[in-house]
Amino acid sequence: MAPAMDDRPASPLIDVSPVLSPATAVWPGDTPLAIVWAERVERGGGSNLATLTLTPHLGAHVDAPLHLFAGGSDVAALDLATFIGPATVVDLAGAAAVDAPALARLDLRGVERLLLRTRSGPTPAVFSPHYAPLTLAAAELLVKARIRIIGIDAPSVDHAEAAELPVHRRLLGGGVVILEGLELGAAPAGRYELIALPLKLAGVEASPVRAILRPLG
């Protein structure tokens, strides 16, 4: 007999993806989520059938090299092993920016997936340019440390006014995949297993992900 719902053990998984809806904040100029119902049961349809329009940079999402480089790899070509495996969450909440000295104080030996918590509160309901980006020197340190994927709870690894996206360019050009827009408030600093698979979208530079963490002993 299956256990009663209240008797089931709590899930060890931590969902670090913000909820996506038409109200989810997007980068200025990006396409917000729009849901158009082609068919509804309550209107006499045989099923509920939705059509979605959205930027692939919505919520928690992966940036592939194609985001910045002509001929760069699209999200369909990214190595899935990058998005599954041990990850380290570090707490840098309150910092104006993630700089090289802050990262140099971390023990990154053996770390391939690094997730940066820069906020103490939830994802803002509206876009705000006031977040903690990475500095170019920090990006250089991550490339040299052979980080495979860098995740952050900010909307971008670059400053809001950085039109040329130099941090994106250094990371993606150096083989570091970028995971932005995470919701890390429920994930204390520590070691986890990360699962954050992008959609297999050919010819597209980014993809939303459902990112989760499982605590490791």
Q: What's residue 123's pLDDT?
A: 83
Angle 163-97-105 from CA coordinates, rounded to 5°: 135
Model pLDDT for residues 113-125, shown as the tens digit of each residue = 999 999 987 888 8
What's the mean per-residue pLDDT of the chain? 94
Query: Beta strand pairing status for 84-91 and 113-117?
Result: parallel
pLDDT at 184 over 70: yes
**Reported confidence tier of residue 151, pLDDT bands at 50, 70, 90:** very high
Model pLDDT for residues 46-89, shown as the tens digit of each residue = 999 999 999 999 999 999 999 999 999 999 999 999 999 999 99
pLDDT at 30 over 70: yes
Among candidate residues 61, 67, 130, 159, the one labeled active-site is: 67
Q: What's residue 7's pLDDT?
A: 60
What is the three-class DSSP state of 68? Answer: coil
Quick check: 134 and 114 in contact, CB under 8 A?
no
In degrees to the nearest 10, what's the CA dihedral of 125, 127, 128, 129?
A: 160
Quick check: 188 and 89 in contact, CB under 8 A?
yes
Average pLDDT estimate for 204-212? 98
Q: What's residue 13's pLDDT?
A: 95
Locate 2 and state its tokens. 């299956």
**Reported confidence tier of residue 217, pLDDT bands at 50, 70, 90:** confident
Query: Beta strand pairing status for 149-152 and 177-180?
Result: parallel
Active-site residue flag, 67: yes
33-36: long-range contacts (C-beta < 8 A, 24 or more apart)? 33/58
Model pLDDT for residues 7-25, shown as the tens digit of each residue = 655 569 999 999 999 999 9
Q: What's residue 1's pLDDT?
A: 46
Give the global pTM. 0.92
Q: What's residue 5's pLDDT?
A: 52
CATH of 56-215, one of 3.50.30.50, 3.40.47.10, 3.40.50.300, 3.40.50.720: 3.50.30.50
Q: Is 29 left (phi over 0), alpha (psi -120 to 50) or beta?
A: left
Rounded distance between C-alpha atoms, residue 197 and residue 75, angstroms: 10
Work out the angle between the directed axes of helices 166-173 and 136-144 (0-180°, nearest 10): 10
Q: What's residue 4's pLDDT?
A: 52
Task: Single out the residue of 211, 182, 201 nearest to residue 66, CA to CA.
Answer: 201
Q: What's residue 122's pLDDT?
A: 80
